[in-house]
């Protein structure tokens, strides 16, 4: 079995999911900056946007989990386009050239952020995307690139619309979208087991206050074990505006 490549693997989400992945697969971490590797991990430090680097990273891979991105909801379209859209296209081109059979793309709940209103609850992942910010829009395009890749190659492409992953639960507005460290690893493992074709799923824990439908993720084999309600007593009000996803919840 070739390694599963984790792009941006030394970043916030990569650090959370790699331990779970390493129990099932050999891993190769590709990142622009060096970090602390787990025992047995391969590491490639380089910019995937540069010619040949993505091909080197994906050579002989049995799968890729593409986490490298700019997650700032305040970033401009130009910034997120280069970091998210253009880089994903480069990675998918390399995956096609190297014959990588499984692709997991980190998307975001912000692709559907305009549905974060009571009249739409629960939000169905099959609905038309309604991004709430430039970041969310960039991930809508990433999902479309993934769908085209699956259609052209016949491979497996799973887009995970991640909620609040790797953040402290100190504000109540995050309780419904929280994805615990443990559940994040389980979700990515389930996505790597998907058969050929394209799909997109919400990625949250089994939160009491969740209004995002994760039934399609459960069909992949994802079984969330954690609930953000354990943080409810200490979670406070919003501290600053974020984006339109939290309209009505952003007043400090």
**CB-based contacts of 116: which residues, under 8 Å, 6+ apart?**
123, 132, 245, 246, 247
> Residue 30 falls within a domain, yes or no?
yes
- The residue-averaged pLDDT of 192-204 equals 98
The catalytic residues are: 135
> Residue 252 falls within a domain, yes or no?
no
CATH code of residue 110: 3.40.50.720
> DSSP letter at 199?
E
Q: How many domains does the chain have?
A: 1
Pairwise CA distance, residues 185 & 160, whole Å = 12
Task: Give me the domain span that covers residue 110.
Answer: 4-246
User: pTM surpassing 0.85?
Assistant: yes
Partners of 251 in the beta sheet? none
Mean pLDDT of the chain: 97
Q: What is the pLDDT of residue 204?
A: 98
pLDDT at 252 over 80: no
- The residue-averaged pLDDT of 42-54 equals 98
DSSP H stretches of helix in the chain: 12-22, 53-58, 77-80, 87-98, 134-153, 181-192, 215-219
> Residue 169 falls within a domain, yes or no?
yes
- The residue-averaged pLDDT of 214-238 equals 97
Q: What is the pLDDT of residue 225?
A: 98
Q: What is the pLDDT of residue 249?
A: 84
């Amino acid at each position: 079995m070739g390694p599963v490549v984790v792009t941006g693997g030394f970043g916030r989400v990569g650090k959370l999911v790699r331990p779970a992945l390493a129990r099932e697969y050999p891993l190769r971490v590709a990142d622009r900056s060096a970090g602390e590797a787990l025992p047995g991990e391969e590491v490639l430090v380089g910019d995937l946007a540069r010619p040949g680097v993505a091909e080197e990273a994906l050579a002989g891979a049995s799968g890729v989990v593409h986490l490298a991105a700019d997650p700032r909801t305040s970033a401009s379209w130009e910034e997120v386009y280069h970091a998210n859209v253009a880089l994903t296209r480069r990675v998918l081109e390399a995956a096609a050239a190297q014959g990588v059979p499984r692709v997991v793309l980190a998307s975001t709940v912000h692709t559907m952020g305009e549905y974060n209103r009571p009249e739409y609850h629960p939000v169905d992942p099959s609905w038309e995307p309604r991004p709430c910010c430039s970041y969310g829009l960039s991930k809508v395009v990433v999902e479309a690139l993934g769908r085209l890749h699956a259609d052209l190659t016949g491979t497996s492409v799973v887009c995970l619309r991640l909620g609040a992953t790797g953040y402290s639960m100190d504000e109540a507005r995050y309780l419904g979208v929280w994805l615990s460290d443990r559940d994040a690893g389980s979700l990515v493992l389930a996505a790597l087991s998907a058969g050929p074709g394209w799909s997109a799923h919400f990625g949250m824990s089994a939160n009491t206050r969740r209004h995002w439908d994760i039934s399609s993720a459960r069909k992949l084999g994802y079984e969330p074990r954690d609930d953000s309600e354990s943080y409810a007593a200490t979670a406070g009000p919003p501290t600053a505006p974020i984006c339109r996803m939290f309209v009505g919840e952003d007043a400090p």
